[in-house]
Chains A and B, each alone.
Chain A
């Protein structure tokens, strides 16, 4: 390939490696550049080494607090043998070449490191290879005699040194080798702690710019009210009084909401209260009690869409076969479970800033879903996607809520109407009431046992709304298959008869979406509680029972071993603690929980300790990894203790943190996290410790009290917690 005089880029994609003339606008000087992202259809610039030696890594993952971009830098830095902080991070612009027509630009599914580890190593190794080649050519020595060291290439025999800065231009002119050697040495386990993120202090002095902090010339702020009955629409608006208020710019009517645009948020909020709005309720008023009954009726009926498994016969035939074995079983065990609707309540309420003018739109927002925001806004305004610019701000908590595009859509419509930049901020009440909730779900789990108490047949019936059908994030619910989010986690990975799973879709008229760990937040509670019940029926110790069913999975056994050892180390001698356990394989990671409670009084317990053992493959950054596991457990504890939103005749029954509490420090016991030493490819970590928390706690409560709690949150009639 002939190379131009100007800077060019080299790209590694899923399909190959090539170099071609590239956009000089991206490059200060020359570049060694490769793609470290999911398959891209456009040649891209991801790693830039400029003539001054500055190294910049572009990334398409949003830092929601999980620190993934910094871990990306650490992976590349290791290959280049530079300190991770030498690599500056830049959120990739939401456009070509960073975003091709079929690419995604999304932060979800605990996929950050899992999906990009290999390509990031390849990226760093490729950059290293061309830098070494450039040095070798300059010195006219063999490349094999050269190596990278602390931001330079060294030729050991002659002790010559050339800095990356001085090699970058020449390196960028070299063809990318078709094969590069990845440095397989382990990454240093140095404590990154607070300095892992270059801009960490911005969180500590208030200078970090979140979505609510965006400042622009001539910026107005909008407050919004949605239908007080979920699913309702605006029938009429009398804005006379609101428009008379000082500081109010305009009132904008949307289909299902009304916004006041004003000089500032408080002025807008006050004027919002002066609106006289009539609403048209939806044909059926969402009612979570009624929905709960419908879910329970559905699992009792067991007539759901069967899930085909890797076994002979159609799904229906598989179901019949499982039922036949069930009928012939020596003994049958059955349990019915329920989890409620739950909200995300990210600390930063939903927000987006938009400016629509002259055939262009620009947005500034905390998002996990940049490509989707861009396509949504473009479609809304009937603009080409290239006319929409999406800027990612700091994000005050994502957890799946910011995969949705509803707030970007609203901000765009409002800004279009008032013809000036507008920052839309939802109040906490609006945030809680208009979430894409973790949907409620019910399950009826049945097992047939043989004379030894071993499982001969499993039949699981679940009922839940469809997230795929509801989320504003583009997904489609297949016509002839269950929503995968409703059944995920039910198979379990145990050496047990393949369960026959049926799903019944039961909607409530509420929006459901992606909530940290999605369907596993319900299904792992169901399954791991049930496994505990099966162990008890057999008279086996819960951990030993699981171990026997995981004998085929060496990594699982190591995790359980690590868990047991840490439980021994964590439990003080002489304390009367009761332990409950859970196990989960999720997104390439294996996770085991142990929860200790003490019995304080009849139906009263104190949470004492939580131990989590994890095999997530290679741990890139122990600090972030541990934080994700601990944070997931805290998230799970909120769901055990508090998290439930109700709607009665369409009206939400909670409104803010006083009646929708979440776990605070006093609710969280010491949490010990053990990472099993593993060189396996990285698995997920952002969601993986959530699901096992509830069943391990329920199982601990059973151990302490003999009571099975099969609904979340644990009701105060069933059990009280001493905090």
Chain B
């Protein structure tokens, strides 16, 4: 039995609800969210923390959930795109995304939005230039509109 098969029991908070996990310690948070909780808004893009499609908040910080093992999630608070806002009550970042019309294929956008929301909610928001490059990949090339949406949300004082 290799390390990947080591079994752990973990209780964590996902979008405000307690969730229990029992299974391989090495299972990435991404696949727990997607395949066990059915929270498929968090996307698989590379599996090595490169592209950012799987970005979620872990205790408020943006992390790439494909490289966060379940063993590291005990007692922690996870927020996914499903927990960010709704069509009726969108998060300010989602609202800005909607107004700018950022999405093309849309696959990377939950990760982009989670990264942007975490950056804007930080105690000391980074300078505008850093904010406009949150570093996630988009093959459709929506970067300029992502930057514009972040700037819009920032101008409105988005946090939360």
Please list the residues of chain A having a beta carbon within 8 angstroms of any beta carbon in chain B.
64-67, 192-196, 200-210, 212-213, 215, 221, 263-266, 270, 345-349, 394-399, 425, 427-428, 623, 627, 630-635, 656-658, 662-666, 668, 670-671
A666 to chain B, nearest CB (A): 5
Mask, B126-160, CB within 8 Å of A = 1, is: 00000011111111111111110000000000000
B141–A205 touching, CB < 8 Å: no
Residues of chain B within 8 A of A633, CB atoms compared:
141
Known interface pairs A194-B100, A221-B35, A347-B107. Does A668 touch B41 (Cβ–Cβ under 8 Å)?
no
| Chain B residue with Cβ nearest A202 | B106
Residues of chain B within 8 A of A348, CB atoms compared:
43, 45, 105, 107
Residues of chain A within 8 A of B34, CB atoms compared:
265
A64–B105 touching, CB < 8 Å: yes
| Chain B residue with Cβ nearest A632 | B141
Known interface pairs A193-B101, A623-B101, A657-B51. Does A664 touch B143 (Cβ–Cβ under 8 Å)?
yes
> Of B86, B145, B147, which is within 8 A of A205 by CB?
B86
A658–B87 touching, CB < 8 Å: no
Q: B38 in the interface, Cβ–Cβ < 8 Å?
A: yes
| Chain A residue with Cβ nearest B41 | A206
10 new A-B pairs (CB below 8 Å) besides A202-B106, A627-B101? A194-B102, A204-B97, A264-B31, A347-B105, A627-B140, A630-B144, A631-B141, A656-B46, A665-B133, A665-B135
Contact residues of B between 51 and 89, Cβ < 8 Å to A: 51, 53, 80-82, 84-87
Known interface pairs A206-B40, A207-B41, A215-B38. Does A201 touch B87 (Cβ–Cβ under 8 Å)?
yes
A88 to chain B, nearest CB (A): 17
Residues of chain A within 8 A of B102, CB atoms compared:
194
A374 to chain B, nearest CB (A): 23
Q: B14 in the interface, Cβ–Cβ < 8 Å?
A: no
B49 to chain A, nearest CB (A): 9
Interface pairs (7), CB distance under 8 Å: A205-B84, A205-B85, A396-B107, A631-B140, A658-B50, A665-B146, A666-B133
B97–A396 touching, CB < 8 Å: no
A203–B48 touching, CB < 8 Å: no
> Of A64, A204, A657, A671, which is within 8 A of B90 by CB?
A204
- Give the one of A204, A666, A671 with max B CB within 10 A: A204
B50 to chain A, nearest CB (A): 4
Residues of chain B within 8 A of A213, CB atoms compared:
40
> Of A200, A207, A635, which is within 8 A of B141 by CB?
A635
Q: B119 in the interface, Cβ–Cβ < 8 Å?
A: no
B132 to chain A, nearest CB (A): 7
- Which 6 A-B residue pairs are closest in the complex by CB-CB distance? A206-B41, A634-B141, A65-B104, A203-B106, A396-B107, A65-B105
B110–A206 touching, CB < 8 Å: yes
Please list the residues of chain B having a beta carbon within 8 angstroms of any beta carbon in chain A.
4-5, 24, 27-28, 31, 34-36, 38-48, 50-51, 53, 80-82, 84-87, 90, 94, 97-110, 113, 132-147
Provide the bound-state CA to CA distance between A99 and B142, in Å: 33
A662–B139 touching, CB < 8 Å: yes
Residues of chain A within 8 A of B138, CB atoms compared:
347
A583 to chain B, nearest CB (A): 22
Residues of chain B within 8 A of A399, CB atoms compared:
139
Known interface pairs A210-B107, A266-B27, A397-B139. Does A201 touch B98 (Cβ–Cβ under 8 Å)?
yes
> Of A396, A427, A666, which is within 8 A of B105 by CB?
A396
Known interface pairs A200-B98, A204-B113, A397-B139. Does A270 touch B24 (Cβ–Cβ under 8 Å)?
yes
Residues of chain B within 8 A of A428, CB atoms compared:
45-48
> Of A66, A194, A666, which is within 8 A of B98 by CB?
A194
Provide the bound-state CA to CA distance between A428 and B139, in Å: 14
Provide the bound-state CA to CA distance between A228 and B134, in Å: 34
Residues of chain B within 8 A of A627, CB atoms compared:
101, 104, 140, 142, 145
| Chain B residue with Cβ nearest A351 | B44
A201–B53 touching, CB < 8 Å: no
> Of B85, B90, B135, which is within 8 A of A664 by CB?
B135
Residues of chain B within 8 A of A663, CB atoms compared:
141
B31 to chain A, nearest CB (A): 4
A205–B144 touching, CB < 8 Å: no
Provide the bound-state CA to CA distance between A633 and B133, in Å: 18
Residues of chain A within 8 A of B47, CB atoms compared:
427-428, 656
Provide the bound-state CA to CA distance between A399 and B44, in Å: 19
A421 to chain B, nearest CB (A): 15
A347–B108 touching, CB < 8 Å: yes
A292 to chain B, nearest CB (A): 26
B147–A194 touching, CB < 8 Å: no
B140 to chain A, nearest CB (A): 5
A516 to chain B, nearest CB (A): 10
Provide the bound-state CA to CA distance between A658 and B48, in Å: 9
> Of A265, A635, A670, which is within 8 A of B144 by CB?
A670
B35–A266 touching, CB < 8 Å: yes
A361 to chain B, nearest CB (A): 24
Known interface pairs A65-B103, A270-B4, A662-B137. Does A265 touch B142 (Cβ–Cβ under 8 Å)?
no
B82 to chain A, nearest CB (A): 5
Residues of chain A within 8 A of B36, CB atoms compared:
264
